[in-house]
Structure 1
Amino acid sequence: MHSMRTLTAAQGMSYHCIFQEEDDKGEIGVNLSKDLVAIANDTLQVNITAIGSLAFPLFKQLRFRLSLLARKLLNRNIKGYAPNFCMAFEHFCIHAGGRAVIDGIQRSLCLSDENIEPSRMTLHRFGNTSSSSIWYELGYIDAKNRMLKGDRIWMIGFGSGFKCNSVVWQCIETASSFDGPWADSIHQYPVAYKNVQTHILSKM
């Protein structure tokens, strides 16, 4: 239905927040800046504003934009207005880059534990597969027989640059059979949240 790409590479802090470089021993790796969480949140807010203009009624768009403006001009500590995203989407596939990423987006979007279950279970089963995790999450929803004709799915992925990409899909036909990546294990899920471990790929 919709796709939205937000790129903030023109800002130095954003460009360098995830960066491949050599360490003092000559080993090449990916360095994650301590500013990453704040940059990701700001980029997500811009992306939400853009995708919201396509997915929400006009009055909700206006209220959201006014809330962002008040935070920017008056006080960043003012709690922003968060529209009920469950009114626009039945399912959410959130970049499973670790518990902190999933928990942060859950708070930002005011989502329930059930909304983010596919993300947490994907992290548990496959670890941190970066933005490709959203396809495992879509497979999880299918394997649980939760996807119905007409349902709308919001996928959110992050990447270096810094960028945030959103895609909105709509189900045109309920799946009648399933043999995807969850076929041999879906009966074991969901597991308790305390068992979902963070997979650290690089250090701050």
Structure 2
Amino acid sequence: MKATTTAILLTSTTTAVSGFAFLPQNNNQVRSTTKLNGLFDGVKEAFSAPPSQLDSERETPIDRWMGWSVVSENAPTDSAVPSDFVDSMDEKNYVGVELTKPMGIVFEENDSEYGGIFVQSLKEGGVAAENGKLQPGDQLVAVGTKNVSGMDFDDALGAIIESEGDSTKLTLFRGTAKQFYGPTGPSKEWLSAFCEKGGASPQ
């Protein structure tokens, strides 16, 4: 009886051990396969996903103007350049005048956010009014070849007062302070080169 009982116990133990050793091996294989599939699935999704795009509401005029479109060329878009957009790096949007002093121009300083001065008004019968090229709102950019954009009132006006000769050449931007000093304003390199060559030619 003892031998029979021992044989049964050994058989049970062997079966239990075999079963225990077998099951974890299958579980490891399943887990390993699942992890690898998950990894490669992620890679597939990364390569198959469409290119990310910025929300169209974050697109600015400078993005479209410079060709930095944040929307795919094939994607439809309702956005358009605002009607008040003025290209500040196009010489056509600048006015050049050569005037004698006193010029008859009333300048005013822009808000501190921008700096610089603009034409507030033209005195009736004055040299500038008779010339007919300037308009209220024009932003003073250069006096001769000197860049005065962004200067405070006294310094910008001082450049005109100190200019020598019978007449003084002025270059003004035909637009608002925001259009010139804001995000769509000219680059420093472009503006520097523009002023050095004398700005806009008087017509």
RCO higher in structure (CA 8 A, sep ≥6):
1
- TM-score range for the pair, normalised by the shorter chain length: under 0.3
The alignment's TM-score, normalised by the length of structure 1, stands at 0.22
Query: Which structure's CA Rg is the greater one?
Result: 2
